[in-house]
Amino acid sequence: MDDAKHCGSCTQCCKVMEIKALASPTGAWCPHCKIGSGCTIYADRPEECRVFACQWLLDPSMPHRLRPDQSKVVIFAYTGSPRLIAACDPANPLAWKREPIYSRLKHYARGAFGTGRQVVAAAGRRLWIIMPDQDLYLGEVDPDAQVAVEAMADGTLKAKVLPPVEGGTRSLQVPPKSA
């Protein structure tokens, strides 16, 4: 029996992800998405769609209620990026703060704290850094920008948005091939 997870009727990534090859911006349904059904050009979809796998698909421990169409949050990472991104529909920008997804993101943030990795929530260009004990709203930020978080003497955290790395490109994390 195949225990691998499948997208099924979930098409949330087709709205919250930018699809450069199709000129489909973040926050707009891909013109080739049949909502709740799937891709109408599946056999000919671009490479960025072919290699994409959200955290729900990759993590066998994530329950069905955290599937993106249920939680309204698509969790993913770009290859080589220190960020785990919780992408929300700009029309529902705080979906990441709802339980049970919020507890999962806080768990990831505790594991990332002090390692140089970050857990972020994004709704279009709006960005939040999710820390173990607080969330830092950064406003509208270039999605390729770097963010440095610094602990202040009084114990508060301060985030500074840095320009994107020159020549940096984003590519999606490719899931391991199943045996």
| Euclidean distance between CA atoms 125 and 27, whole angstroms | 10
What does the pLDDT read at residue 75? 96
Residues 58 and 64: beta-carbon distance below 8 Å: no
pTM: 0.85
| Euclidean distance between CA atoms 3 and 161, whole angstroms | 41
DSSP 99-153: TTHHHHHHHHHHHHTTTT-EEEEEETTEEEEE-SS-EEEEEE--TT-EEEEEE-T
49-60 pLDDT, tens per residue? 999 999 999 999
| Euclidean distance between CA atoms 138 and 146, whole angstroms | 12
What does the pLDDT read at residue 174? 41
What six digits make up the tokens of 77? 């990472």
Q: For residue 3, what pLDDT band results from cuts at 50, 70 and 90?
A: low
| Euclidean distance between CA atoms 96 and 101, whole angstroms | 6
What six digits make up the tokens of 40? 């109408």
Q: Structural domain boundaries of the chain?
A: 13-162
Report helix, strand or coil for 6. Answer: coil
Indicate if the pLDDT at residue 175 is higher than 80: no
What does the pLDDT read at residue 123? 94
